[in-house]
Amino acid sequence: MARPTAGDRLARLLAVVPWLVEHPGVALTEVVDRFGISPKELVADLETLSMVGVYPYTPDMLVEATVEDGEVWVRYTEWFDRPLQLTPGEALALVVAGRGLLAAPGAEEDGALARGLDKLEEALRHRGVASVDVDLGEAAPGVVPVLRQAVEEHRSVELDHWSVDQDQVITRTVDPYAVAAESGHWYLRAFDHLRGEERVFRLDRTRAVRPLEQHFEAPPRSDDVRVYEPSPDDPRVTLDLPADARWVVEAHPHESAEVHDDGSVRVVLPVSSTRWLAGLLLRLGPRAVVVSSTGGLDVQGLRQDAADRVLRRHRR
């Protein structure tokens, strides 16, 4: 499994830091439980945070982040009290990014970040921007809140979920362990009674959810959501990508990524489904050069079939 990327750590820090500032001296154990990270990851993030500041990067211009006697302290410098001068475009980008961060596990819906974004949106409305709607892929109104409640109550639910592989909606009973947003989509980690195994469901493919009367006992540390866990039997594909397509490495699990001097990268990707690979190749277009593949994958055939399907739909 690929190590967390710099983007993963940054997103986590941006969600954790405002909460820590509002809760000075909070117990380290409470932080790791709330945000679903290990103590080692938290300490590493705080060490990185302590190097954040502004020129000339003297101690009084750096964020203070410490762990003392099992308690976590994060303090801003006076520089952060200065008002920012943002253009409407900069403010809008900040609101969109901030709303996405509020979906991170452990983020407070009414915390400092949320209140700051509300004020920023109000300022934008005075500048003619009517509203800001950040879509994180919720399939239907109420799906995420109902599932979060079921996770809290350890209550089984019935899902009407569209299966990509079978191209149809299947009703199944699941024990929901965790709900989280990642890379612009909502995901549910649950035990699937139909398959008899744990699975991760993308919630923009969920048509409806119905709580059941039965309850379940969640396994230890079940609050983690890993969108895809590669297995040794999954096919692999090796791609050569230009520098402007390195977002693939940041956005998808990978086994290795070799960055060249010109910024291009050779990446080995485990393939969770052929539909996923076909969609990725369509998005990349001719910028992705297929070097090799395993598991009998006909990568060029997948790419051509996907392109033909898109062309037929466009003509219709």
Q: Report the alpha-carbon distance of residue 40 to residue 65 in Å, rounded.
A: 15
Determine the Cα–Cα distance for residues 160 and 180; give it in Å rounded to an integer: 19
Pick the CATH number of 236-315 from 3.30.420, 1.20.120, 3.40.50, 3.30.70: 3.30.70
CB atoms within 10 A of CB 284: 17
Count of beta carbons in the 10 Å neighbourhood of residue 125: 12
pLDDT by residue for the chain (316 residues), tens only, comes to 445 555 567 767 777 888 888 888 889 888 888 877 788 888 888 888 777 776 666 776 777 888 888 898 888 776 666 666 667 777 777 777 776 666 555 556 667 777 777 887 787 777 666 555 555 554 555 788 888 889 889 999 999 988 766 667 889 999 999 887 665 567 888 899 988 888 888 887 888 899 999 999 877 655 555 555 667 778 899 999 998 888 888 777 788 888 888 889 999 988 877 777 887 888 888 888 989 988 888 888 888 887 777 777 667 6
Q: CA 301 to CA 250: how far, in whole Å?
A: 26
CA angle 168, 171, 176 (to 5 degrees): 120
> Where are the chain's structural domains?
6-126, 143-215, 236-315
N residues, the chain: 316
User: How many C-beta atoms lie closer than 10 Å to residue 199's C-beta?
Assistant: 14
Q: Contact, 225 vs 180, CB < 8 A?
A: yes
User: 269 pairs with which residues across the strands?
Assistant: 237
Cβ distance 111 to 19 under 8 Å? yes
Give the residue among 21, 7, 8 at the shortest CA–CA distance from 80: 21
User: The pTM is what?
Assistant: 0.42
Q: State how far the Cα of 180 lies from the Cα of 201, in Å rounded to an integer.
A: 11
Question: Does domain 143-215 match CATH 2.30.30.100?
Answer: yes
